[in-house]
Structures are given as structure tokens and as C-alpha cells.
Amino acid sequence: DAEPTNPQLLNNLAWLCARHGKRLDEALDFATRALAADPDNPALLDTAAEANFRLGKVDEAVRLETRALELRPDEKFMAEQLERFKAAKK
């Protein structure tokens, strides 16, 4: 409540919700709002990808995670995320 537009706080809340599979619509909303404030932040892209994936929007998750990896190509966790998302498409 203290900083409702802070992208890092929105991202943290979105990540928590998405990873626990709770309040997924809100997780996506928080992630989307965070990305609007900082659209080329790989961590925010990764969180938005996770939220989309948990909501069954696999193509969007792949698109977002691919962009995150373009910005941070050596990030092992994001590469693993992308593989997980792609595997779900099969």
C-alpha cells in the first residue's frame, strides 16, 4: 500500500503469488504493472512469464522469457524457465 507503483514491490508480490499458484489473476496484474514501468527489465519479464504460464498462457510465457534471455543471455535460471515453458507446449 505504501508504494503501489513501485515496480520492484509489484514484481515481488507477483512472483510470490505466481510461484505459489495463488491469486494468479492478481499476480499477472502486478507483473503487468511492473513491466509497464520498466519494460526491459529481465527479472520483471521473467515474473510476467511465470504468471502467464501459471494461467495457462504458455505462448505468452515463452515470448516473455525469450525476451528476458535476450537481455540477460547468461542467466541459467531463465534458460531453465524457458525450457520448462516450451516443454509444456508439447
Q: What is the pLDDT of residues 64-75, one digit of tens each?
A: 999 999 999 999
Give 12-51 pLDDT, tens digit per residue: 999 999 999 999 999 999 999 999 999 999 999 999 999 9
Write the secondary structure of 12-79 as one string of H (helix), E (strand) and C (coil): HHHHHHHHHCCCHHHHHHHHHHHHHHCCCCHHHHHHHHHHHHHCCCHHHHHHHHHHHHHHCCCCHHHH
Predicted model pTM: 0.93
